[in-house]
Amino acid sequence: MTEPGLGRAAFADAEAAMAARVSQAGIGGKLVVVRDREVLVDESYGGVDDDTPLSVASTAKWVTASTVLTLVDEGLLTLDDPISTWLPDLEGPVRDATLRQLLSHTSGVKQQQCIFDPGDELASCTQRLLAAPLEFEPGSAFSYGNASYHVAAYLAEVVTGTDFQTLFRTRLAEPLGMTGTTWGYGETRNPTPASSMITTVHDTRAFLEMQLARGVYDGRRILSEEAVAEIERNQVAGYDTSGDFAVNITGIPTYGLGTWRDVPDGDDAIAIMSGNGAGGYYPWIDRTHDAYGIVAVEDRRGAELAVPASQEVAELAMEATGRA
């Protein structure tokens, strides 16, 4: 529950908005805000608790990007070499796409339905994605989507010889204690690294604490400071993002690697970033106040309704964090 005193008063509007948000959607949820390792808000609605599994849609992108960047830290992948470095049989312009472009939605790889087919395999689906015509030349435009994360995860599998789910488990889940996080569809060799993650508030808190500490969790380095900085940096400077459907839903015009830059502090620095998903799951980090928070819901009414509804609560909580 919310701490007494100034904390409760500061977050009254955010809590009221969260109560209305879940009531209107007919769902449960949870609102958490932590600053300087002190829990300022911890409110459950409709039975959702720290261990309730929730499908979080594109929040998965933040986690997938972090998993892949552990391989960049080790030198097994690089952000700016062409992907043909590791996939030499590629043909056409896609050869020149980079991992940075894959993770920032600027690669031009076009979505196909196979990325959502649990009976397929990540490798075979990715090969079809790479053999198909591009949406645009790599590096020439921004188009938010899911297919490029399939390719990024496949690159991780190629350079390690290990399936993506195992890479996630050994590189992030186990060191962070994310015991409640799985990838959708049950047993499958074709997870959707961009959107099929099912997780809990407990696990999301561990992930956010690691990111807030610039890659360190419980005294152990998970990601380098450089990797965290790349995740947060504006990767789409110089691109016109104004016509993109996801930008129009979130109202956020800049993007890092797997994360939205809600409140930038210049092109490279960030004040607040989020990993919001189409079902309204909305985790954020507030570097200005050494804080993080989560609007934890699974709202199936569509992104056009679910994301702004959660964003309203998140923004009230972000504002209150500075006053509490």
Residue 179 has a pLDDT of 97
Tell me which amino acid residue 210 is: M
What is d(CA 178, CA 146) in angstroms, rounded to the nearest whole number? 23
Q: Under a CB-based contact definition with an 8 Å cutoff, are residues 260 and 275 in contact?
A: yes
- What pLDDT is recorded for position 317? 97
For the chain (324 residues), the mean pLDDT of every run of 10, in chain order, is: 57 97 98 96 97 98 98 98 98 98 98 97 98 98 98 98 98 98 93 98 98 98 98 96 98 97 83 97 97 98 98 97 88
Q: What is the pLDDT of residue 3?
A: 44
Provide the pLDDT for residue 4. 44
Q: Tokens 């015009």 correspond to what residue?
A: 253
Does the pTM surpass 0.85? The reply is yes
- pLDDT the model gives residue 270: 81
Q: What is the pLDDT of residue 266?
A: 73
Q: What is the pLDDT of residue 265?
A: 85
Between CA 116 and CA 190 the distance in angstroms is: 8
Residue 305 is predicted with a pLDDT of 98
Beta strand ranges found along the chain (DSSP E): 29-35, 38-45, 54-55, 182-183, 197-199, 216-217, 220-221, 260-265, 269-274, 282-286, 291-296
Q: What is the pLDDT of residue 8?
A: 64
* pLDDT score recorded for residue 7: 59
Distance of CA 240 to the CA centre of its chain: 22
